[in-house]
Amino acid sequence: MRASTNSNDSARLARRDRKRTRRVQRTAAWGAIIMVGAAALGAPAVAQADEIPAPAPTSHKVPAPDLSGGVPQLFGGSTADETHPAPHGGPEAPLSFDQPFQADARDPDPDSAGSITGSLSYNDEVSPPALDGGLQAQAFLWNPSTSTWDLKATGQGPHYELDGLAAGDYLVRFSDTLGRDVRTEFYDDWLYSEDADLVPVTAGETTAGIDAELGKEYVWLTQPGGADRYEVAAKISHIAFDSNVPTLYIASGEKYPDALSAGPAAAHQSGALLLVTRDGIPTVTRDAITELAPQKIVVVGGTATISDAVYTQLAAVQPNIVRLAGADRYEVSRNVLSYAFCGGTEGDCAGTGVKKLFVATGANYPDALSAGPAAAHVDGAVLLVPGFADDVDSATRTLITRLGTEQTYVAGGPASVSTGISSTLYTLMGGNSERFTGADRFDVSANINSAIFQEQHSVIFIASGFVFADALSGGPAAAVYDAPLYLVQKECWPQSVLASAFSLHPIDFLLLGGPNTIGMGVSNLEYYCS
Please say if the pLDDT value at position 328 is more than 80: yes
pLDDT value at residue 131:
61
Name the segment(s) of the chain with CATH classification 3.40.50.12090. Answer: 227-442
41 vs 215 pLDDT, higher one: 215
pLDDT band with cut points at 50, 70 and 90 for residue 427: very high
pLDDT single digits (tens) 243-269: 999 999 999 999 889 889 999 999 999
pLDDT value at residue 85:
30
Please say if the pLDDT value at position 112 is more than 70: yes
- CATH of range 227-442; options 3.40.50.1950, 3.30.360.10, 3.40.50.12090, 3.30.70.3270: 3.40.50.12090
10 vs 375 pLDDT, higher one: 375
pLDDT value at residue 37:
47
Mean pLDDT of all residues belonging to the chain: 81
Among 390, 344, 383, smallest CA distance to 362 is for: 383
What is the residue-wise DSSP string for 416-469? TS-HHHHHHHHHHTTT-EEEE--SSHHHHHHHHHHHH--S--SEEEEEESS--H
pLDDT single digits (tens) 129-147: 556 678 999 999 988 888 8
Most confident of 9-13, 214-218, 246-250, 518-522: 246-250
- CATH of range 101-215; options 1.10.620.20, 2.60.40.1120, 2.10.109.10, 3.40.228.10: 2.60.40.1120
Name the segment(s) of the chain with CATH classification 2.60.40.1120. Answer: 101-215
> Three-state SS for 259?
helix
44 vs 422 pLDDT, higher one: 422
Mean of pLDDT values over 231-253 = 95
156 vs 104 pLDDT, higher one: 156
Please say if the pLDDT value at position 58 is more than 80: no
Let me know: does 87 contact 35? Beta carbons within 8 Å: yes
pLDDT value at residue 30:
41
pLDDT band with cut points at 50, 70 and 90 for residue 72: very low
pLDDT value at residue 87:
31
Let me know: does 477 contact 224? Beta carbons within 8 Å: no
Please say if the pLDDT value at position 107 is more than 70: no
pLDDT value at residue 317:
96
CA distance 457 to 235: 22
DSSP-derived secondary structure letter, 5: P
Q: Which of 48-57, 213-222, 403-412, 433-442 has the lowest mean pLDDT?
A: 48-57
Mean of pLDDT values over 98-120 = 67
Q: What angle do CA 180, 48, 513 make, to 5 degrees?
A: 95
Let me know: does 324 contact 332? Beta carbons within 8 Å: yes
Let me know: does 181 contact 45? Beta carbons within 8 Å: no
Among 334, 316, 340, smallest CA distance to 247 is for: 340
pLDDT single digits (tens) 447-457: 999 999 988 88
CA distance 341 to 224: 31
Mean of pLDDT values over 292-297 = 98
pLDDT value at residue 348:
66
Let me know: does 402 contact 428? Beta carbons within 8 Å: no
Mean of pLDDT values over 167-179 = 92
For residue 88, what are the contacts with CB-CB under 8 A and spacing of at least 6?
Answer: 18, 21, 24, 27, 33, 52, 53, 57
Q: Which residues of 387-406 are buried (b: 16+ CB within 10 A; e: fewer)?
A: beeeebeeebeebbebbbbe
Please say if the pLDDT value at position 524 is more than 90: no
Among 288, 263, 212, smallest CA distance to 3 is for: 212
CA distance 412 to 81: 46
Mean of pLDDT values over 350-364 = 89
Whole-prediction pTM value?
A: 0.82
